[in-house]
Amino acid sequence: MKKIIVSAVAGVAVLALSGCANKAVVSYGDATAVETTDINFGSTDLQKVATQMTDSLLLSPVVGTLTANSRPVVFVERIKNKTSEHIDTESITDSVSTKLLRSGKFRFVDMGRVEAAREQLNFQHNGGMVNPNKAIAFGKQVGAQYMLYGNLSSIVKSNKDKADVYYKFTLRLMDLQSGLVEWADETEIRKTRETASLGW
């Protein structure tokens, strides 16, 4: 009987210890810290391209002239992902447009919400629940004057000892009336992963 009790206690102790060993610990980190988990496009890369391109656009003499006496209306086309990775390029456009909006030099039309806005206007005019005198009139929205668009591409090379990925991010600002590109810039990122030698 003692052997059975001892075995049972030992079994419970082993289960308790294994449960403790597998317990996950969650903590907060610095969102701006350099992320080096792997060589794929990550948070540090997103922050880098968004900051560099926004700064370049705001410091451009041409854009300085465009925004000297007015706040041009811009719409941002989603960045085209030409890499082999699944990258949420909407996060890049969100960061760029937010930084530009914070500068106070631009206003934006959110093309991703046009259908939702149309539904709301239809509701106000046809739903029978909104006072017609308070309903927003159709045809009063402001159209964009400029379009901001770009591409993210990559070149990947690898062998058994080393992997190298090169990213190029390009952004352009087009005048919708003339079709002229008023500003363009690009930034590059290169990331390398080497297999550590065990030395035996």
Label residue 61 by pLDDT band (50, 70, 90): very high
pLDDT at 17: 54
Is the pLDDT reported for residue 9 higher than 70?
no
Q: Please, what is the average pLDDT of the chain? A: 83
Compute CA distances 32 → 27, 40, 42, 187, whole Å.
15, 17, 11, 19
The pTM score is 0.74
Please give the pLDDT value at position 198.
56
What span, in angstroms and rounded, lies between the C-alpha atoms of 160 and 30? 33
172 contacts 149 by C-beta, under 8 angstroms:
yes
pLDDT band at 46 (very low <50, low <70, confident <90, very high): confident
Q: Which fold has domain 38-109+144-195?
A: Rossmann fold (3.40.50)
- Is the pLDDT at 5 greater than 60? The verdict is no
CATH 3.40.50 residue spans of the chain: 38-109+144-195
Query: Looking at residues 79-100, what average pLDDT do you find?
Result: 89
Calculate mean pLDDT across residues 19-24: 66
The pLDDT of residue 104 is 92
